[in-house]
């Protein structure tokens, strides 16, 4: 028998969806089921199974769900509410002070992974400049276990999340470095096979449309100067010093920035500059060779 005061799970899910729709949340069904799953301690699939089976929500679970839904209505990121963000095969810890990794960055990580796997060295070196949550660096370290990976971050708030995720994932071939990407790791100059970065690239005057980004992602991880490319200019020069001949650079960027980034890289002397489209057909990454 359900506990006294228990509510029909489907009714709760449908009410939550309606509230999130009214608040303009982009994926209300997904978010509603993930929030319910977070309270119940089950996956979204587990929630859907309980919906099919006519599950109930206890009064205590309903009480725990209510403030989470209210915060999501105010457009606080879902990942801040659950404390987790999926990235490739991992579930990363995230929250205030760190950029929430996006699905499109998984393709950027794949470009770096492919380049690292192609290196004919027993222990190729990769560097993730501006690692944030550590998403790309951890993907490299876990999916190319014979490589050595360095993750660089200069925000104290973000670096706390980097360290937490590194501790949780436990990649023994990953080194964390707190420092500025413009000067980091001089001891690795000329030794690195792959440099990858998801730098801040939003132009200063372009406020992101989504409140989740505009109000909650750290500004230092979003804005890259007047044209959005100030950090890319620094990144280009630092990567040239870090990489050995034939080494690869992988940069994530906005879909409108391919030509400008190609011009920066060409002026600095990079070879084989190429642009890569995401699953929606937009140029979202550029690669180049040292």
Amino acid 2: pLDDT: 55
- Of the candidates 65, 164, 124, the residue with the CA atom closest to the CA atom of residue 248: 124
The dihedral sign for the CA sequence 188, 192, 196, 202: positive
Same structural domain, 169 and 265: yes
- List pLDDT tens digits, range 151-209: 999 999 999 999 999 999 999 999 999 999 999 999 999 999 999 999 999 999 888 88
Amino acid 1: pLDDT: 53
In the structure encoding, which two tokens stand for residue 194, read together?
Answer: 């792959």
- List pLDDT tens digits, range 2-46: 566 789 999 999 999 999 999 999 999 999 999 999 999 999 999
Average pLDDT over residues 226-240: 97
Last residue of a domain, one of 74, 93, 127: 74
- Of the candidates 131, 224, 209, the residue with the CA atom closest to the CA atom of residue 177: 131
CA–CA distance, 21 with 113 (Å, rounded to integer): 38
Same structural domain, 95 and 69: no
Last residue of a domain, one of 31, 47, 74: 74
Same structural domain, 145 and 34: no
SS3 readout for 28-95 = HHHHHHHHHHHHHCCCHHHHHHHHHCCCEECHHHHHHHHHHHHHHHCCCCHHHHHCEEEECCEEEECC
CATH code, 235: 3.40.50.150
The per-residue pLDDT of the chain, averaged, comes to 95
Domain hosting residue 153, numbered range: 85-289
Same structural domain, 95 and 169: yes
Amino acid 3: pLDDT: 61
Q: Is 2 part of a structural domain of the chain?
A: no
């Amino acid at each position: 028998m359900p506990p006294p005061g228990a509510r029909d799970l489907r009714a709760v899910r449908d009410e939550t969806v309606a509230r999130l729709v009214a608040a303009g949340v982009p994926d209300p069904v997904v978010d509603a089921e993930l929030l319910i799953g977070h309270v119940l301690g089950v996956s979204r699939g587990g929630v859907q199974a309980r919906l099919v089976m006519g599950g109930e929500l206890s009064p205590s679970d309903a009480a725990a769900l209510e403030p989470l839904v209210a915060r999501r209505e105010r457009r606080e990121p879902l990942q801040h509410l659950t404390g987790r963000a999926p990235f490739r095969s991992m579930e990363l810890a995230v929250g205030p002070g760190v950029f929430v990794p996006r699905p499109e960055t998984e393709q950027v990580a794949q470009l770096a992974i492919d380049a690292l796997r192609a290196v004919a060295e027993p222990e190729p070196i990769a560097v993730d400049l501006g690692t944030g949550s550590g998403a790309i660096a951890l993907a490299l370290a876990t999916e190319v276990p014979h490589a050595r990976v360095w993750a660089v971050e200069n925000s104290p708030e973000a670096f706390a999340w980097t360290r937490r995720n590194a501790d949780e994932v436990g990649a023994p071939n990953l080194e964390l470095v707190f420092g500025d990407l413009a000067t980091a790791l001089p001891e690795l100059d000329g030794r690195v096979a792959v440099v990858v970065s998801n730098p801040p690239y939003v132009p200063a005057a372009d406020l992101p449309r989504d409140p989740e980004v505009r109000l909650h992602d750290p500004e230092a991880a979003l804005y890259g100067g007047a044209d959005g490319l100030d950090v890319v200019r620094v990144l280009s020069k630092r990567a040239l010093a870090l990489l050995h001949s034939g080494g690869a650079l992988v940069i994530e960027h906005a879909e409108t920035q391919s030509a400008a980034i190609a011009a920066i890289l060409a002026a600095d002397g990079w070879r084989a500059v190429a642009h890569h489209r995401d699953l929606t057909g937009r140029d979202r990454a550029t690669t180049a060779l040292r």
